[in-house]
Structures are given as C-alpha cells and as structure tokens.
C-alpha cells in the first residue's frame, strides 16, 4: 500500500527517467536522483486527489522522522499496577495523539483492558482511563490520607495495622498472591 501511495502515477502524473544504467559499460540498473526525473503532470486521470496525495506524503515524512528519533520506550507510570474491574486482566498503556481543531497536537497516555486489546469485545470492554485522570485520583487519595493522618494519627495507624494483619495468611504470616481478600459468598437478598 505504501508503494502505491508513493507512486505518483496514482496522482495522474507520469514520471520517466527514474532509473537508468550506471554507465554505458556497466549496465547495472540504478535509481536516478529526483532532479533527473522527467515529470508529466496530469498525464492521465488521477486516482487520488492532490490533497490526499499531499497528506499521505506528510504522514510518510513524519513516520520517517519518528523512526529516526525513536528513543527507547519509556515505562509508563501505572504499567503493571492496574487491573481491569471486569476480567481482572492487566490494563495496558497506550500513547495517543490528539489533533485539535486549532492545530495543536497533544500526546497523552491512557490505559485500557489488555484482554479487550487482544480479543476485542467478546473478551471484555475497553475500560479506558487517561493517565491524567488517574494521576488526579491517586493524588486526591494521597492528600485525603495525609489529611486524615494529620487529624488523627493514632486512628489511621490502627486502621493500617488492622489492614496489614487481615491481608496476611493466618498461618504462614505471608501475604497471599494478589494481596486482596476474596469477597464473602453471596448470601442472597
């Protein structure tokens, strides 16, 4: 597809003299520099519009630029720490780019269900959340706990101690895998 979209013939322009031999002795085919090309504009009806053509060239240019500047992937803040509420699978981080009407381009990270990402709607729902929103939620939680601690330190420490004990295995004293307690069996209503 990329070659199709790089081929100016799809724009209705015919380009000649793109390739030639190395010299009259060496008949190895070489690709000639763009300056040697002979371009006949509108030689036949365009398959795609010049606007679409320009947009595709811009996308290709940016893709090339990105691969040159490809830095090692950065681990995301909440990777490995988020679990889908429905299927208990891990949430995956995804970099997204938002093109605004005023021309601004914003990049942000969001997380969504990994099972949904791999198997689609039959496996789970998207359950997407942006990193900005998550940061705000976590900050609010930290702030609330810090305030509670200031208000009544002993009560908070007691509460944390109790939580700590209840999370440990009754005999081994070890934390169970996952660290969460199973919900009590449903008793009916």
Interacting residues with Zn ion (CB under 5 A): 84, 86-87, 89, 113, 115, 124
State how far the Cα of 167 lies from the Cα of 169, in Å rounded to an integer.
Answer: 7
Q: Which is nearer to Zn ion, 12 or 114 (CB)?
A: 114
Q: Which is nearer to Zn ion, 14 or 87 (CB)?
A: 87
Tell me whether strands 38-40 and 129-130 are parallel, antiparallel or unpaired.
unpaired
Q: Report in angstroms how near the CB of residue 177 gets to Zn ion at its nearest.
A: 19
Q: Report in angstroms how near the CB of residue 124 gets to Zn ion at its nearest.
A: 3
Cα end-to-end distance, the chain, whole Å: 59
Q: Which is nearer to Zn ion, 11 or 113 (CB)?
A: 113
Beta strands, E only, 58-185: 91-99, 105-113, 129-130
Q: Report in angstroms how near the CB of residue 86 gets to Zn ion at its nearest.
A: 5
Q: Report in angstroms how near the CB of residue 77 gets to Zn ion at its nearest.
A: 20
87, 113 contact by CB (below 8 A): yes
Q: Report in angstroms how near the CB of residue 120 gets to Zn ion at its nearest.
A: 11
94, 108 contact by CB (below 8 A): no
User: Which CA distances in Å does 47 have to 1, 44, 126, 170?
Assistant: 14, 9, 37, 72
């Amino acid at each position: 597809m990329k070659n199709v979209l790089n081929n100016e013939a799809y724009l209705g322009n015919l380009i000649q003299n793109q390739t030639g031999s190395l010299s009259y002795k060496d008949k190895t085919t070489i690709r000639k520099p763009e300056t040697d090309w002979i371009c006949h504009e509108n030689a036949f009806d365009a398959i795609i519009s010049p606007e679409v053509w320009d947009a595709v060239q811009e996308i290709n240019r940016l893709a090339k630029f990105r691969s040159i500047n490809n830095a090692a992937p950065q681990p995301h803040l909440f990777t490995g720490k988020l679990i889908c509420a429905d299927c208990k699978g891990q949430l995956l981080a995804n970099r997204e780019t938002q093109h605004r009407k005023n021309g601004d381009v914003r990049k942000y990270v969001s997380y969504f269900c990994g099972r949904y990402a791999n198997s689609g709607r039959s496996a789970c729902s998207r359950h997407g959340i942006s990193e900005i929103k998550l940061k705000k939620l976590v900050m609010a939680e930290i702030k609330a706990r810090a305030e509670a601690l200031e208000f009544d330190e002993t009560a908070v420490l007691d509460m944390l101690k109790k939580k700590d004990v209840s999370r440990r295995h009754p005999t081994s004293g070890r934390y169970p895998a996952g660290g969460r307690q199973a919900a009590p069996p449903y008793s009916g209503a």
